[in-house]
């Protein structure tokens, strides 16, 4: 067996910890030993080739379309034990065009060479769609039924360290699908590094999560990690969180949660909910590690969250800024534990004109940029920053962030075939711009999103934070997108940008015009540049990834159309 599976099987045999699902309606707790027993029956079933959908052989790609963590956990483990790899498919929502979803899903399944789809609630009604498309599937609920009551031996299949464990779908900037190929070696390396960096205590920590399992933070961080090392887990679905965001805090309070994670927008949402919650209704004093990552971190949103949570015993030091990506399985760097969010305040002119992160002088608050310190690379990873010519840059010089280490994945699967992630020396170009300061990673933004105006390199997050301060703009729903310089006769050759925001007042022409004017004013005041246009859209208009992150490229198509 691989080191990853060795650890998973050993934890199942020794741990009395487990996972609680079904909140807030019908909570059910199962120990990891019980989950593993179900997984063994599923592995035996899949390995036998029984069932209409066929079986799993070493190297088989198995796609999973299900929403319930209680079903996904043993199913994923069963696929790994049978020698296959797992791909969590992007899930349709009530607003999804099922015909378009089916087309996209067929492309993904063809790209990964899927031999089987495992289907579970609430997506059982899609069985007809899969059948019409000729896609082999099996209901998760029926797996292992023929072995019920038995304790079948583990399948006798090889598990090499470089075998594929996960094919993590990425959203990317184009409509073409792509999957990061995560090996058993990658998974084990990053898993152990995150456990070390977060100082997890297997016998005491309790993880609480609502994160989607088709996203790497959910699937790796809040299912695979606790299942593999034997941590206690309380998990609900994203739909449960969106229906009642305060449920997240309620679960932390009732279960004594110590570890959680989410993108920045979710902390902003929860902060507003906590500000309105009844005094004494929650106890958040147990929380010691609230990871904030997966999208740019807004210090103001974090301050609002910790400020509102202080009434319920939340320690501001519990927030841990993090940097991660699927190309390293999940984690790249975690900030120091128990220090809270630390921000590097730098001179805006030096950053934009000279690509240097020079600490700002006091008294010049109007011309600064604030970037969270994201900590040193996790154990086993190393980072460097290079310029456009590949020259390695020094401390506080801004350039492209490169990573190297055992967790860095070997490549992608694309519709055009495999694609390597590493250069000849093993370095991965992350596509992010940033710098190192005393070994700490700081990310400024994505290279492809940088807006160049008047020789200045402007990061869209600065524009978006200014726009989000305007009354009426929905938190986390402001996007700045670059408009390339024109090339035709008489066209402007200067880059510009459009700001798109969502507001519940979008249908009111007078209110929308006021928002446009105020967004323009805030952006000019904060960043010193004027948007070509400000577009005010109704809620739900801005394109987002399946994990809830805003998609700039798709937004550009929307506002340019």
> For the residues 393-400, what does the mean pLDDT come to?
96
| 53: in domain | yes
Per-residue burial over 425-439, b if 16 or more Cβ lie within 10 Å, else e, is eebbebebbbbbbee
The 8-class DSSP code of residue 470 comes to S
| 297: in domain | no
Q: What span, in angstroms and rounded, lies between the C-alpha atoms of 69 and 22?
A: 9
Q: Choose the final residue of a domain: 197, 216, 243.
A: 243
Q: What is the pLDDT of residue 485?
A: 60
Residue 490 has pLDDT above 50, yes or no: no
> For the residues 277-286, what does the mean pLDDT come to?
95
Q: What is the pLDDT of residues 307-351, one digit of tens each?
A: 999 999 999 999 999 999 999 999 999 999 999 999 999 998 888
Print the domain residue range for 41. Answer: 3-243
CATH code of 459's domain: 3.30.300.30
For 198-233, where are the alpha helices, taking DSSP H only? 216, 225-229
Helix (H, G, I), strand (E, B) or coil at 41: helix
Residue 171 has pLDDT above 80, yes or no: no
If you search the block for the tokens 């739909």, which residue do you land on? 239
Q: What is the pLDDT of residues 368-383, one digit of tens each?
A: 888 999 999 999 999 9
Q: Which of 184-198, 238-252, 455-469, 538-552 has the weakest average pLDDT?
A: 538-552
Q: What is the pLDDT of residue 51?
A: 44
For 414-537, where are the alpha helices, taking DSSP H only? 460-468, 509-527
Q: What is the pLDDT of residue 305?
A: 95
Q: What is the pLDDT of residue 514?
A: 92
Q: What is the pLDDT of residues 420-433, one digit of tens each?
A: 999 999 999 999 99
Q: What is the pLDDT of residue 174?
A: 44
Q: What is the pLDDT of residue 453?
A: 75
Q: Which of 8-12, 253-257, 397-401, 465-469 has the weakest average pLDDT?
A: 465-469
Per-residue burial over 329-342, b if 16 or more Cβ lie within 10 Å, else e, is bbbbbbbeeeebbe
| 398: in domain | no
Q: What is the pLDDT of residues 508-547, one digit of tens each?
A: 889 999 999 999 988 888 777 888 889 999 988 887 765 5
Cis amide linkage into residue 24, ω under 30° from 0 = yes
| 16: in domain | yes
If you search the block for the tokens 């670059």, which residue do you land on? 482
Confidence of residue 454 (pLDDT cuts 50, 70, 90): low
Confidence of residue 130 (pLDDT cuts 50, 70, 90): confident
Spell out the residues 6+ positions from residue 189 whose beta carbon is closer than 8 angstroms to its own: 329, 380, 405, 406, 407
Residue 195 has pLDDT above 80, yes or no: yes
| 456: in domain | yes
Residue 479 has pLDDT above 50, yes or no: yes
Query: In what side-by-side order are the strands of the sheet with 18-21?
Result: 28-31, 18-21, 232-235, 206-209, 259-262, 289-292, 319-324, 331-334
If you search the block for the tokens 């801005």, which residue do you land on? 542
Q: What is the pLDDT of residue 497?
A: 86
Percent of the chain with pLDDT over 70: 94
Residue 80 has pLDDT above 80, yes or no: yes
Q: What is the DSSP string of 315-359?
A: -GGGEEEEEE-GGGSSEEEEPPTTS---EEEEEHHHHHHH-B-PB
Confidence of residue 298 (pLDDT cuts 50, 70, 90): confident
Q: What is the pLDDT of residues 225-268, one digit of tens each?
A: 999 999 999 999 988 998 899 999 999 999 999 999 999 889 98
| 362: in domain | no
Q: Which two tokens stand for residue 470?
A: 């305007």
Q: What is the pLDDT of residue 296?
A: 83
How many domains would you assign to the chain?
2
Residue 384 has pLDDT above 70, yes or no: yes
Confidence of residue 2 (pLDDT cuts 50, 70, 90): very high
Q: What is the pLDDT of residues 44-77, one digit of tens each?
A: 999 886 444 557 888 999 999 998 999 999 999 9
Q: Which two tokens stand for residue 506?
A: 């979008």
CATH code of 159's domain: 3.40.50.12780
Q: Choose the final residue of a domain: 187, 213, 243.
A: 243
Q: What are phi and psi of 453, to 5 degrees?
A: -135, 125
pTM value?
A: 0.86
| 316: in domain | no
Residue 273 has pLDDT above 60, yes or no: yes
Q: What is the mean pLDDT of the chain?
A: 88
The 8-class DSSP code of residue 11 comes to H
Q: Choose the final residue of a domain: 243, 273, 308.
A: 243
Q: What is the pLDDT of residue 366?
A: 58
Q: Are strands 114-119 and 137-139 parallel, antiparallel or unpaired?
A: parallel
Q: Are strands 114-119 and 61-65 parallel, antiparallel or unpaired?
A: parallel
Confidence of residue 105 (pLDDT cuts 50, 70, 90): confident
């Amino acid at each position: 067996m691989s080191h990853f599976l060795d650890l998973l099987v050993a934890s199942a045999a020794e741990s009395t910890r487990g996972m609680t699902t079904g909140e807030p309606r019908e909570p059910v707790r199962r120990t990891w030993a019980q989950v593993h027993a179900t997984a063994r029956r599923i592995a035996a079933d899949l390995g036998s080739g029984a069932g209409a959908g066929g079986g799993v052989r070493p190297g088989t790609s198995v796609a999973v379309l299900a929403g319930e963590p209680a079903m996904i956990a043993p199913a994923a483990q069963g696929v790994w034990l049978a020698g296959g790899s797992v791909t969590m498919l992007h899930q349709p929502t009530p607003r999804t065009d099922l015909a378009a979803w089916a087309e996209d899903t067929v492309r993904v399944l063809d790209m990964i060479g899927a031999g089987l789809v495992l289907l579970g609630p609430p997506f059982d009604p899609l069985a007809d769609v899969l059948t019409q498309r000729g896609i082999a599937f099996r209901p998760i609920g029926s797996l292992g039924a023929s072995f019920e009551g038995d304790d079948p031996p583990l399948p006798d299949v090889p598990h090499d360290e470089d075998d594929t464990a996960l094919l993590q779908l990425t959203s990317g900037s184009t409509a073409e699908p792509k999957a990061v190929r995560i090996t058993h070696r990658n998974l084990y390396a990053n898993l152990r590094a995150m456990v070390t960096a977060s100082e997890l205590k297997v016998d005491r920590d309790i993880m609480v999560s609502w994160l989607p399992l088709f996203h790497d933070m959910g699937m790796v961080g809040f299912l695979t990690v606790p299942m593999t090392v034997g941590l206690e887990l309380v998990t609900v679905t994203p739909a449960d969180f969106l229906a009642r965001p305060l449920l997240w805090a309620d679960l932390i309070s009732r279960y004594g949660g110590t570890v959680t994670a989410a993108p920045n927008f979710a902390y902003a949402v929860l902060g507003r909910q906590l500000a309105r919650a009844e005094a004494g209704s929650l106890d958040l004093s147990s929380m010691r590690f609230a990871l904030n990552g997966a999208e740019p971190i807004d210090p103001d949103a974090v301050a609002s969250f910790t400020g509102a949570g202080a009434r319920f015993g939340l320690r501001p030091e519990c927030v841990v800024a993090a940097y991660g990506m699927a190309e390293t399985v999940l984690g790249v760097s975690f900030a120091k534990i128990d220090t809270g969010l630390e921000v590097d305040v730098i001179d805006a002119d030096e950053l934009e004109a000279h690509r240097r992160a020079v600490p700002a002088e006091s008294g010049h608050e109007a011309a600064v940029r604030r970037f969270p310190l994201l900590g040193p690379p996790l154990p086993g990873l190393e980072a460097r920053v290079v310029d456009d010519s590949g020259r390695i840059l020094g401390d506080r010089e801004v350039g492209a962030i490169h990573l190297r280490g055992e967790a860095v994945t070997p490549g992608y699967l694309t519709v055009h075939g495999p694609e390597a992630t590493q250069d000849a020396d093993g370095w991965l170009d992350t596509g992010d711009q940033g710098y190192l300061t005393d070994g700490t990673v700081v990310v400024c933004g994505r290279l492809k999103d940088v807006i160049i105006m008047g020789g200045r390199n402007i990061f869209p997050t600065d524009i978006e934070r200014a726009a989000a301060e305007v009354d009426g703009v929905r938190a986390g729903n402001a996007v700045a997108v670059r408009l390339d310089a024109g090339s035709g006769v008489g066209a402007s050759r200067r880059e510009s940008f459009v700001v798109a925001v969502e507001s519940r007042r979008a249908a009111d022409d007078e209110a929308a015009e006021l928002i446009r004017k105020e967004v323009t004013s805030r952006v000019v005041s904060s960043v010193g540049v004027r948007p070509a246009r400000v577009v005010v859209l109704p809620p739900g208009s801005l394109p987002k990834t399946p994990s809830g992150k805003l998609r700039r490229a798709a937004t550009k198509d929307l506002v340019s159309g």
